[in-house]
């Protein structure tokens, strides 16, 4: 999830664990704990794009990381507040839950987490977008309201618990909506006599009303959109050829298996002029369907002066964000036209 959401979750967890003893300090350190796992993004300063993406949501998002670092961080905090009511065990418990709930929340998104690192297994449930206001905003409001009550006031605990309950309940709703959307996609594929190998269903940016699906066939991927507000249940699918043959001799380079593993097999290859692009389908398109400009995550493959194959992540134009979100919002309102 986005940084703000992880901060809010960490603060709420900190309050639930230690708020009655130390007040807003619990929220502060809970928020810090909720931020720490995402410091793995700093790896982009030292390694290439592919390696950085491989490292993201790896060790720092694992149970092992929480177990190893919670006691150390708890000890450091206990030294800062030596005369406080909380001891090393209290702070360790807070830091562990703050660190651990971060990857738990991330596991519901598309990128997923390597919760059981070093085991090579990623959890990605795909039922919520990395930033969803309906999850975060109510949660944030209740956490802020709780801050203004004294630590011993029972209203503080009730407000914080209410925020945790509402956010968790919304998460359960998205799971139900995902199941419903997937069933609709599957029914359409069956009715249109489309044979497929695999299907991946996820929400579009910033909402849980408009859903999209990647469908793998033998030679291509299909992408469809379904809104809970659609009047017509018939879904049109845009087709994108896999074009894996365009990799040609590049297939022999060790970089390509790494990219394939990173995308979990959800990728297409396209060639524009003499330039080859490797597209990661898991995070959707910059647009909708066949009218989309390109995919959100895409790598330009090229050989450097030493003949080494490189993958450069294609930059996204910030100016395109507003019109793209407008298109998504209009599609979210249904297929009335």
pLDDT block averages, 10 residues each, the chain of length 337:
96 97 96 97 92 94 98 96 88 98 96 92 94 96 97 96 97 98 97 96 95 97 95 91 95 96 95 94 80 83 95 81 83 80
User: Do the domain assignments include residue 100?
Assistant: yes
Residues 6+ apart with CB under 8 A from 285: 223, 292, 293, 294, 295, 296
Residue with tokens 């380079």: 253
- What is the rounded distance in angstroms from the CA atom of residue 296 to the CA atom of residue 298? 6
Residues 170 and 230 in one domain: no
The confidence score (pLDDT) of residue 41 equals 93
Residues 161 and 291 in one domain: no
Residue 298 DSSP SS3:
strand
The confidence score (pLDDT) of residue 321 equals 72
DSSP class per residue in 264-276: TT-EEEEEETTEE
Which two tokens mark 151? 């630590």
Residues 259 and 110 in one domain: no
Residues 33 and 149 in one domain: yes
The confidence score (pLDDT) of residue 38 equals 96
- The count of domains in the chain is 2
Half-sphere exposure at residue 329, Cβ-oriented, CA atoms within 13 angstroms: 6
The confidence score (pLDDT) of residue 96 equals 98
Residues 107 and 152 in one domain: yes
Residues 228 and 157 in one domain: no
User: Do the domain assignments include residue 64?
Assistant: yes
CB atoms inside a 10 Å sphere around CB 123: 17
pTM of the model: 0.92
CB atoms inside a 10 Å sphere around CB 9: 28
Residues 44 and 97 in one domain: yes
The confidence score (pLDDT) of residue 140 equals 97
- What is the rounded distance in angstroms from the CA atom of residue 80 to the CA atom of residue 229? 53
Which runs of consecutive H residues, i.e. helices, occur in the chain? Answer: 3-22, 24-35, 49-55, 63-80, 88-106, 133-147, 154-191, 255-263, 321-332
Residues 201 and 328 in one domain: yes
Residues 277 and 152 in one domain: no
The confidence score (pLDDT) of residue 284 equals 87
The confidence score (pLDDT) of residue 291 equals 59
Structural domain range at position 216 = 192-337
Residues 6+ apart with CB under 8 A from 280: 262, 263, 266, 267, 295, 296, 297, 298, 299
Residue 296 DSSP SS3:
strand
User: Do the domain assignments include residue 113?
Assistant: yes
Which two tokens mark 248? 């040609």
Residues 164 and 62 in one domain: yes
Residues 131 and 266 in one domain: no
Residue 112 CA, distance from chain mean position: 6
User: Do the domain assignments include residue 182?
Assistant: no
The confidence score (pLDDT) of residue 83 equals 74
Residues 39 and 167 in one domain: yes
Q: With beta carbons less than 8 A apart as the criterion, state whether 90 and 21 touch.
A: yes
User: Do the domain assignments include residue 183?
Assistant: no
């Amino acid at each position: 999830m986005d940084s703000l959401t992880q901060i809010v979750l960490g603060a709420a967890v900190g309050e639930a664990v230690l708020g009655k003893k130390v007040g807003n300090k619990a929220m502060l350190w809970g928020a810090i704990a909720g931020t720490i796992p995402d410091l793995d993004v700093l790896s982009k300063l030292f390694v290439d794009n592919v390696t950085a993406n491989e490292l993201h949501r790896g060790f720092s998002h694992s149970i092992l990381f929480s177990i190893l670092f919670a006691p150390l961080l708890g000890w450091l905090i206990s030294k800062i507040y030596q005369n406080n009511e909380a001891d090393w065990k209290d702070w360790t418990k807070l830091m562990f839950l703050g660190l651990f709930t971060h990857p738990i929340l991330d596991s519901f998104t598309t990128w997923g987490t390597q919760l059981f690192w070093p085991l090579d297994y990623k959890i990605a449930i795909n039922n919520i977008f990395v930033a969803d206001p309906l999850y975060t905003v109510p949660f944030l409001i209740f956490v802020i309201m709780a801050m203004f009550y004294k630590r011993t006031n029972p209203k503080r605990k009730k407000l914080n618990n209410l925020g945790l309950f509402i956010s968790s309940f919304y998460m359960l709703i998205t799971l139900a909506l995902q199941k419903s959307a997937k069933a609709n996609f599957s029914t359409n594929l069956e009715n249109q006599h489309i044979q497929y190998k695999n299907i991946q269903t996820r929400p579009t940016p910033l909402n849980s009303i408009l859903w999209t699906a990647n469908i793998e066939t033998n030679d291509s991927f299909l992408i469809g959109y379904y809104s809970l507000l659609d009047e017509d249940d018939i879904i049109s699918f845009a087709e994108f050829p896999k074009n894996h043959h365009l990799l040609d001799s590049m297939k022999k380079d060790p970089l390509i298996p790494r990219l394939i593993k990173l995308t979990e097999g959800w990728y297409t290859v396209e060639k524009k002029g003499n330039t080859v692009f490797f597209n990661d389908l898991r995070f959707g398109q910059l647009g909708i369907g066949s009218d989309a400009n390109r995919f959100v995550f895409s790598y330009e493959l090229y050989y450097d002066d030493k003949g080494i194959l490189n993958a450069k992540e294609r930059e996204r134009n910030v100016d395109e964000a507003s019109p793209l979100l407008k298109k998504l919002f209009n599609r979210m309102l249904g297929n009335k036209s």
